[in-house]
Amino acid sequence: MNQGKRVGIVGAGNVGATVAYSLAMLGSCHEIILRDNKIDVAKGKALDMSQAASAVRSHTVVKVAEDMSDLTDCDVVVVTAGSPRLPGMSRDDLLMINANITKEVIKGIAKYSPNAIIIMVSNPLDAMTYVALKESGFDRSRVIGMAGILDSSRMASFIQEKLGYGGGQIRASVMGGHGDDMVPLPRYSTVAGVPLTDVLTDTEIDEIVQRTRHGGAEIVSFLKTGSAYYAPAKSTAIMVEAILKDTKQIHPCAVYLDGEYGYSNVVSGVPVMLGANGAEKIIEVTLDDKEKEMFAKSCASVQSLINTLNQNNFFQGE
């Protein structure tokens, strides 16, 4: 097996490259391997990052996989590859395009890094995590979607903006799918341990919840030509770190449910304990009726994407 930890990143666009940069600066792994269809762009970014790592005396080396077969023996592989939603493209169009890209990528990972833990970042996130799980044949603990940390960090940021204080002491909690049906949980959100309901009015909390749901769209509306990548990349790097360092920390992540919360054969965001074996434990928090209703709606919207894949015979012949 490889000496030191090795992280593969498929897709060296804004998100993938920023994940790589973040990990290289932390020196959390021995080697980072970038894989992208634009090989020269990946090579340029890899050189730039290796030099940045040298500047901060990090031992991490950033390399490029010219082919999937170069992505061998990785401990963790992050998948950000996929097409963005283009004008005139329906959600279902995007679903099929990215499902096919994901299928190809996952086959390569399963073949060349069969012991890896896969972190999915491609959208639609929950459905792509489902595809990755089915295509890899890996245990569900080893295929995890990144969304909850990002959504929670957005909510925390909005709480801080609303309050004007408490930075670094805010713990926001979000469950469910990554999208308009996400389930922000004000009851489980605190400022230095003080419940959110003690420092903000119901109206203010509602405003924060709505803004969190549309946090990604708000950034897209400003950027015009792209979407967020600093917060998504840092959220992904936090997951990679927790796995490489076996921290057993609890983070909200998208995982395949098998009876938890009363759901099966669907992927949704729930609190999980991250360690060397991936999502080692799913934490079941108590939801009230309103939260259960929101979570049900969230699971249903992911289920409808999975149904679309099945109707298109996506998983046939397996």
Query: 274 with 247: CB under 8 angstroms?
Result: yes
The residue annotated as part of the active site, out of 30, 178, 214, 251, is: 178
Cβ-in-10-Å burial (0-12, 13-18, 19+) of 80 comes to buried
CA distance 129 to 140: 10
DSSP-assigned letters across all residues of 182-227 = -EE-GGG-EETTEEHHHHS-HHHHHHHHHHHHTHHHHHHHHHSS--
Distance of CA 118 to the CA centre of its chain: 10
Rounded to the nearest 5 percent, the helix, strand and coil shares of the chain are: 50, 20, 30
CA distance 227 to 229: 7
One-letter amino acid at 191 equals: V
- The answer to whether 30 is a known catalytic residue is no
Residue tagged 């999208």 (tokens): 179
Q: Is 145 left (phi over 0), alpha (psi -120 to 50) or beta?
A: beta
Query: 33 with 63: CB under 8 angstroms?
Result: yes
CA distance 313 to 297: 25
3-class SS at 82?
coil
Query: 120 with 254: CB under 8 angstroms?
Result: yes
Cβ within 8 Å of residue 151, ≥6 positions away: 174, 178, 182, 184, 212, 215, 252, 269
CA distance 101 to 83: 9
Positions marked active-site = 178
